[in-house]
Amino acid sequence: MKITDEMIDYIGILARLRLEEDEKESAKVEMEKIINYMDKLNEVDTTGIEAMSHAFPVKNVFRKDEVRPSVPRDEIIANAPRKKDGCFQVPKTVE
């Protein structure tokens, strides 16, 4: 696929980039290299290869939800400029 100046201008608009002429030429060369590489990848025979969503096996990476000791509430709000009923008191933001 040949990358044209119009394509570079359009991609620049989509990406909200203002490219100088020398940057456009450089981008055109780089994009052609990327597309040529993708064409090479399309030539690879992948029959019998199962599709994957990650390069490595992914399992649940979340830790178990356990109750653990924390800092006492009084210590947390000790330096608060204003407090009310054991909580931070902040200015009202919605009338």
Better-predicted residue by pLDDT, 71 or 52: 71
Percent of the chain with pLDDT over 70: 100
Better-predicted residue by pLDDT, 53 or 24: 24
Domain regions of the chain by residue span: 5-42
**15 has a pLDDT exceeding 90:** yes
pLDDT band at 32 (very low <50, low <70, confident <90, very high): very high
**75 has a pLDDT exceeding 80:** yes
**60 has a pLDDT exceeding 80:** no
Gap between the Cα atoms of 74 and 83, Å rounded: 10
Q: DSSP class of residue 31?
A: H
Q: Residue 31: what pLDDT?
A: 94
Gap between the Cα atoms of 52 and 60, Å rounded: 17
Yes or no: say if 12 and 18 are a contact pair by the CB < 8 Å rule: yes
Give 35-41 contacts, CB < 8 A, sequence gap 24+.
35/1, 35/3, 39/1
pLDDT band at 61 (very low <50, low <70, confident <90, very high): confident
